[in-house]
């Protein structure tokens, strides 16, 4: 019955945003033309960045393994995880299940390559940046990564956790940071689903990994993305 299983809660507001984007971007004209999906809002999931930086990976993997088991019992075909940092563990996820897991990171790099862009700047948590999960796929597909200063990395981290804490989506500091790195040659990847909640000027050269995940989720669920 359910085509798509979503492991959410990382964070909860970002999961709501992901689901809303699924609905708004599906080419459907009545209720029963939308895709059947189920969301596991696992908001008590251990913090991904802490688990990576503090080498507590087992703590996170033990928690998310149960979600894969739940989705297998439900009978979904495809799994989407709207959290960039969690994709550091993608290879471990594949050992947990035979379900199709959308690789948010790789799909984003492939989209960038298809556009003919050869340089990226990544904006996300320290877990995402320090683990170089985007660099792994950028190297694979011949895409250059522009380094972000430590000061700006820490500022972005503060912005992300402020959104988690307050749900305040008014932030001009992030726009200033984007403008320092994004230009005609370099596309900025919005690589944290909290940052995806912010209103970003379309004139800034960016791509949102969450939007890539949304479109792939719709397509793999047998529906079409709204043009």
Q: Give tens-digit pLDDT for 87-113.
A: 999 999 999 999 999 999 999 999 999
Give the tens place of pLDDT for each residue, 6-18. 999 999 999 999 9
Task: Lay out the sheet containing 78-80: strands in order across.
Answer: 37-41, 4-8, 78-80, 100-101
Omega of the bond prior to 11 within 30 degrees of 0, cis? yes
Name the β-bridge partners of 187. Answer: 120
Strand partners, 145: 120
What residues have CB less than 8 Å from 152, skipping those under 6 apart? 177, 180, 181
- Residue-wise pLDDT for 128-165, tens only, equals 999 999 999 999 999 999 999 999 999 999 999 999 99
Specify the pLDDT at position 171: 81
Q: What is the CA radius of gyration of the chain?
A: 17
pLDDT value at 22 more than 90: yes
CATH number of 105-209: 3.40.50.1860
Nearest residue to 67 via CA among 91, 44, 34? 44
Rounded distance, CA 206 to CA 121, Å? 9
* CATH 3.40.50.1860 domain residues, the chain: 4-102+212-220, 105-209
pLDDT at 1: 82
Hey, what's the torsion of the CAs at 49, 52, 55, 57, to 10 degrees? 100
Q: Which of 196, 197, 150, 156 is nearest to 176 (CA)?
A: 156
Distance CA(70)–CA(89), nearest Å, equals 18
Residue 176 has a pLDDT of: 96
Predicted confidence at residue 172, as pLDDT, reads 86
SS3 84: coil
What are the structure tokens assigned to 169, written together? 């989506």
The residue among 103, 105, 180 whose CA lies nearest residue 147 is: 180
Model confidence pLDDT, tens digit, residues 41-96: 999 999 999 999 999 999 999 999 999 999 999 999 999 999 999 999 999 999 99
Give dist(CA 95, CA 86) in Å, integer.
15
* 172-207 pLDDT, tens digit each: 899 999 999 999 999 999 999 999 999 999 999 999
User: Residue 170 pLDDT more than 90?
Assistant: no
H helix and E strand count, the chain = 10, 8
Q: What architecture does CATH give domain 4-102+212-220?
A: 3-Layer(aba) Sandwich (3.40)
């Amino acid at each position: 019955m359910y085509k798509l299983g979503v492991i959410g809660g990382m964070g909860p507001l970002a999961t709501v945003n992901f689901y809303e984007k699924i609905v708004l971007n599906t080419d459907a004209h009545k209720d029963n033309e939308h895709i059947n999906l189920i969301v596991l809002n696992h908001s008590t999931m251990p913090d991904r960045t802490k688990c990576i930086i503090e080498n507590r990976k087992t703590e996170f993997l033990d928690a998310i393994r149960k979600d894969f088991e739940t989705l297998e019992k439900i009978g979904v075909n495809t799994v989407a995880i709207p959290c960039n940092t969690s994709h550091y563990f993608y290879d471990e996820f594949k050992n947990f299940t035979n379900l199709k897991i959308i690789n948010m990171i790789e799909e984003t790099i492939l989209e960038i390559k298809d556009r003919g862009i050869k340089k990226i700047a990544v904006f996300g948590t320290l877990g995402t940046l320090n683990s170089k999960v985007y660099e792994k796929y950028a190297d694979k597909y011949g895409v250059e990564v522009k380094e972000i200063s430590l000061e700006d990395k820490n500022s972005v981290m503060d912005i992300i956790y402020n959104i988690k804490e307050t749900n305040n989506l008014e932030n001009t500091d992030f726009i200033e940071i984007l403008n320092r790195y994004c230009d005609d040659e370099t596309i900025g990847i919005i690589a944290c689903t909290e940052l995806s909640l912010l209103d970003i000027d379309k004139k800034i050269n960016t791509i949102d990994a969450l939007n890539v995940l949304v479109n792939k989720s719709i397509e793999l669920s047998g529906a079409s993305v709204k043009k």
